[in-house]
Structure 1
Amino acid sequence: MADLAEKEMDNPTFRSDTVLSDVHLHCPSKRHLMVRLNAVGQPVFLSYFKLLWSTEDLASGKHVREITTGREQQCRSGDELCDKDRSNVKEEGELNSKGVEALLDDDGDLEVVRRPRSASNLQAEELLRDIVCPVILMKGKEDAFEDEEQECTCSDVVKIEHTMATPLEDVGKQVWRAAFLLADYILFQRDTFRGCSVLELGGGTGITSIIMGTVAKRVYCTDVGEDLLAMCEQNVALNKHLMEPGGGEVKVKDLDWLKDEFCTDPETPYSWSEEEIADLLDHCSVIMAADVFYDDDLTAALFRTLYRITHNLRNSCTVYLALEKRLNFTLRHMDITCEAYSHFRNTLNDLENLQDGKMKYTVEHIKPDFCQFLVYERIEQLELWKIMAEHLT
């Protein structure tokens, strides 16, 4: 299996429909542990994502202050380095202007000497730019990560099994940045979600539901595809210790946005029982989804599902949608566009303007300037939206 993993990582096959998450793209191939092949023959890898605090200390605000202070110090240090570098450039420019004549060749042309990139500039970038690579194990090399394992206790590491470089229909088996953004918000607003009953749509590997499970009472993590749901269930089992201190529970269930009803067939894996459906409709107060807006038809299906479920809930609820705007050059527009994002915004606007006399939806954009609790690159294309769904009748 180790030889197969090495071959898969060293010689990836990219077809026109191959998709690779940036979270995995920035990870050196030699640091991935292939644990198995899934039911469709895809290599499954195990990654360790380190929390910047311990889940055992969720009740304390100490770590929030430490993280905020640390980021401020990084920014100040980076600014100081940049200011110092700009000062050096200015001094060099003054000196060079005095000796321009010495840089002329025999024909009177100016010979430009390229200034090497300064060390201070590199240091500033390292301070200001978050490292994307998660802590990942390597098969047969456990000793190499012994120090990291000692530092990363059970309460500050999320273990996630995932695939890499999948076809578009299997992108849920990868880990995406918007899931980290939503997880950050959950940990930042943990008191808001404490004791809630939550539904996640398009849960994928389950990382956001797992984080939510550390503070919520019950989370229904839903998606489609038996192989994907089995991977999600395995990830929930791997991280059960994170949820036990708060008494949280994550249930993995099948939920197809293209169907109008919950799957209740007992012969179908991950189907719903009547009791679970009743529990969801009676107690759910939060619905969330992360990085599921990449196909217009699926986006429309998601919003139809949102309307159907929020309409059937006993109480009003809050919906959180996280996504990443992905820019592409299209021949049709001969310009850089983001068609999937544009369709999402149009559909979101239609939902807010809906006037059916039954539901009212209030949309709010959440500025992503809250604390970061997972190590990833929070780029400016990441967005988080909040929707208040209220019954009118």
Structure 2
Amino acid sequence: MSKMGLSGQESSDQTKVKKTDILKDFQLFFFSMSRLASFPWTFLEKDLQSNKSPEFISDILKQTCLHSLCRKFPPSVRYRRLFLSELIRREAAGCDPLDELYDALAEVVGTEDTTECYKSYLLPCGEAVSLLENVALISEGTTGLVTWEAALYLAEWALDHQQAFTGRTVLELGSGVGLTGITICRSCSPSRFVFSDCHPSVLQKLRANVQLNGLTEQMSPTVSVEELDWTTATEEQFKQIGADTVIAADVVYDPDIVGSLVKLLSQILRSSSSEVLPEVLICSTIRNPETYSSFKQQLGNAGISHHVITGPVGHVFPYNRLSSIEMIQLYR
């Protein structure tokens, strides 16, 4: 084959690889209900301009709205409607109409919106963590019915540091809808995992999500969901759990509960029945520097030292990486 022929073949292969990566991005963003502006629309527009064919749009549809995961755990009706409208807008400018695109839109136009939806977060192994979440960020008097950035960051850190959880008993404080804990259970092989929260609606959704992802008390790891009120928890409770690792994500946001959290962490570090203290990891999105600074100061006042865990994490889930996220490990 001539050099020109080889060059053309390489270019074609690179385009195929690029298309495969772009399709994965569309799928990743769609199932986690990422902002539509974050999708790789530019690549689609260029493909339409050069090929004048709806083939790539058809491929996108198969990986999103027509995918079996969407049938089982669909993103919100409004989100699917907006996503399909964006596809149609670009298709209209670049190629012939694609019937299945309009069929998919007709299906969601006739569907009623609900207050709940599914978000699915794709793991590197190809499996998905699918969660029932609320559409609104704040509902039923709590922020615990949606997944927040620090939970995604901590899950990514866990995927990079699986040995921190393998064969261990893990307690998660403020588990919310369960993203971090379910990711750890599915990927890091803990021997036991205890999810916890205190809001009744959050606990109900958390239990549903744990079951939804095939985790039960009868399987390995042994999993339980427990009500844990930070103001009334006792050292005895923590001794019974016997956690080797304690994690929490996005629990430092309300100045009114920082004191209760610090008291709770002191109890956890005191309650260890072995000479080895549990590894305690707290991951926070710093929305209010004053509140976060107060948390660290109160830790110090309680005799708890900390160090900031630095270093990059693998980019697995789509979220706003401009957010200020910090992870610390606690010591006594």
The TM-score, its normalising length taken from structure 2, stands at 0.61
Distance 1:257 1:249 in 2: 23
Task: State whether structure 2 residue 331 is matched by structure 1 residue 388.
Answer: yes
Report how far residue 167 of structure 1 moved. Answer: 4.6
- Gaps in structure 1 of 5+ consecutive residues: 1-22, 38-42, 55-154, 263-273, 328-337, 355-360
Please point out which of 363, 372, 378 is paired with 2:321: 378
Give the aligned partner of residue 195 of structure 1.
Answer: 167
Determine the C-alpha separation between the residues in 2 that align with 1:296 and 1:284: 27
Q: How does 1:263-282 map to 2 (within 5 A)?
A: 279-280=240-241
Deviation at 1:24, TM superposition (A): 6.2
Change in CA separation of 1:195 and 1:36 when aligned onto 2, cut-off 3 Å: farther
Offset, 1:381: 0.4
CA contact (8 A) 1:219 1:249 kept: yes
Once residues 294 and 369 of structure 1 are traced to their aligned partners in structure 2, the CA distance between those partners, rounded to angstroms, is 24
Check conservation: 2:137, 2:145, Cα contact below 8 A. Answer: no
1:324 aligns to what? 285
1:1-393 equivalences under 5 Å are 26=35, 29-31=78-80, 43-51=115-123, 53-54=124-125, 155-163=126-134, 164-167=136-139, 169-214=141-186, 215-240=189-214, 247-261=220-234, 279-280=240-241, 283-315=242-274, 316-326=277-287, 338-351=289-302, 354=303, 361-389=304-332
State the shift of 1:159 in Å. 0.2
The structure having more radius of gyration, on CA atoms, is 1
- Answer yes or no: is the 8 Å Cα contact 1:368–1:383 preserved in 2: no
Q: 1:382 to 1:278 in 2, by over 3 A?
A: closer
Q: Residues 197 and 219 of structure 1 are in contact (CA less than 8 Å); yes or no, is this contact kept in structure 2?
A: yes
Whole-angstrom distance in 1 between the partners of 2:233 and 2:330: 22
Kindly indicate whether the alpha-carbon contact (under 8 Å) linking 2:238 and 2:268 is maintained by their aligned counterparts in 1.
Answer: no
Work out the CA distance in 2 between the residues paired with 1:26 and 1:250.
Answer: 33
Structure 2 spans left out of the alignment, 5+ residues: 1-31, 37-75, 82-107
Q: Answer yes or no: is the 8 Å Cα contact 2:287–2:324 preserved in 1.
A: yes
Asked which structure has the greater RCO (Cα within 8 Å, sep 6+), the reply is 1
Q: Shift in Å at residue 30 of structure 1?
A: 2.3
CA distance in 2, matches of 1:165, 1:211: 21
| Kept in 2: contact 1:35–1:46 (CA 8 A) | no
Letter in 1 for 2:297: N
Query: C-alpha root-mean-square deviation of aligned residues, in Å?
Result: 3.0
Instruction: Tell me how far 1:372 sits from its aligned partner.
Output: 2.4
Shift of 1:35: 11
Query: How far is 1:278 from its partner?
Result: 5.4
- CA deviation after TM superposition for structure 1 residue 371, in Å: 1.8
When the two structures are superposed, what TM-score results if normalisation uses the length of structure 1? 0.52
Provide the residue aligned with 1:94 in structure 2. Answer: none
Per-residue deviation, 1:368: 4.4
Query: Structure 1 290/159 Cα, relative in aligned 2: closer, same or farther at 3 Å?
Result: same
Q: Give distance in 2, aligned partners of 1:31 and 1:162.
A: 16
CA contact (8 A) 1:324 1:382 kept: yes
Task: Please state whether the residue corresponding to 1:166 is helix, strand or coil.
Answer: coil
Instruction: From the superposition, tell whether residues 24 and 169 of structure 1 become closer, same or farther in structure 2 (CA, over 3 Å).
Output: farther
User: CA offset at residue 252 of structure 1?
Assistant: 0.7
The 8 Å contact of residues 286 and 318 in structure 1, kept in 2 or not, is answered as yes
Q: Give the Cα–Cα distance (whole angstroms) in 2 for the partners of residues 303 and 176 of structure 1.
A: 21
TM-superposed deviation, 1:237: 1.1
Q: Distance in 2 between matches of 1:300 and 1:36?
A: 39
Q: Could you tell me how far apart the structure 2 residues matched to 1:307 and 1:278 are?
A: 13
SS at match of 2:181: helix
Structure 2 distance, partners of 1:187, 1:304, is 29
The 2-side partners of 1:248 and 1:229 are apart by 20
Deviations 1:281-304 (A, max 9, x none): xx3111111001111121111110
Contact 1:202–1:223 under 8 Å retained in 2: yes
Cα distance change on mapping 1:35 and 1:173 into 2, 3 Å = farther
Assess, with a 3 A threshold, how the Cα gap between structure 1 residues 24 and 349 changes in structure 2: closer, same or farther.
Answer: farther
